[in-house]
Amino acid sequence: MKTALELIPGELQNVTLADSDIARAVALAKPTNDKVRQAADARLQFEDEPAAFIGFLHARP
């Protein structure tokens, strides 16, 4: 049985990939997804909107 992650490219992205390519991508994407989610759980605030980054660049020369 395929995991949800393995189903994403065909079902949601409309990109057909060989099983070996899916396995390779999932092997990378799974731990990366986990790491980003854990970091977001630990530090991301509701108020942290992406556009704030450009504001930061201009505010901190």
Partner 1 sequence: MLGLSLTEAADAIRRGKVSSVELTQAAIERARKLGSELNCFALLDADEALSAARKADRSRKGKARGPLHGVPLAHKDLFYRKGKVVACGSRIRKDFVAGTTATVLERLAAAGAVNLGALHMAEFAFSPTGYNQHYGHAKNPWNTAHVPGGSSSGSGAAVAARIVFGSLGSDTGGSLRHPAAMCGLTGLKPTLTRVSRAGVMPLSHSLDCVGPLARSARDCARLMQVIGGADPADPTAAIRPVPRYEAGLDGKVRGLRIGVPRSYYYDPVTPEIKQRLDESLDALRRLGARVIEVDVPDMTLINTLMHVLMTVEAATIHRRWLQSRRQDYSDQVASRIEPGLFYPATRYAEALGMRASLAREFVDTALGNVDVLHLPAIPIPVPTIDDTTRGNPADVARIIGVIGHCTRGINYLGLPAISVPAGFDSKGLPVAFQLVGRPFCEARLLHAADAYQRVTDWHRRSPPKA
Of 1 and 53, which CB lies nearer to partner 1 in the complex structure?
53
Provide the minimum distance between the beta carbon of 27 and partner 1 in the complex, in angstroms, as a whole number.
9
Record the tokens describing residue 38, joined without a space: 């854990």
Token pair for residue 28? 């990378």
Strand residues in the chain grouped as ranges (E): none
**Shortest separation between residue 1's beta carbon and partner 1, angstroms:** 17
What token pair was written down for 23? 């396995």
**Could you list the residues that contact partner 1 (CB under 8 A)?**
5, 8-9, 13-17, 21, 24-26, 28-29, 32-33, 35-37, 39-40, 43-45, 48-50, 52-58, 60-61
Which residue, among 10, 6, 8, 33, has the nearest Cα to 22 in the 3D structure? Answer: 6
